[in-house]
Amino acid sequence: MKRAQIARHRLTWLVLPLIMAATIASALMVKPKDELRNEALPAFETVSR
């Protein structure tokens, strides 16, 4: 049991940095789209009102 738990912990520590890198990369990729979205935000606000 202990050996399996240690292996599981190693897996999580290997996977977590990959997930973090993927999320950071996706956030950087989305940033240009956010700039375009900010231009469209006033239209959204007028529609919601």
* pLDDT tens digit sequence for 8-47: 888 889 999 999 999 998 888 876 666 655 565 565 555 5
3-state secondary structure of 1: coil
Instruction: Report how far residue 13's alpha carbon sits from residue 48's, in angstroms, rounded to the nearest whole number.
Output: 44
Total count of domains within the chain: 1
**Residue whose token pair is 């940033």:** 31
Counting every residue written for the chain, the total comes to: 49
Q: What is the pLDDT of residue 34?
A: 60
Instruction: State residue 5's pLDDT score.
Output: 87
pLDDT at position 42 is 60
Nearest to 22 by CA among 11, 10, 30: 30
pTM over 0.75: no
Residue 31: which domain range? 1-49
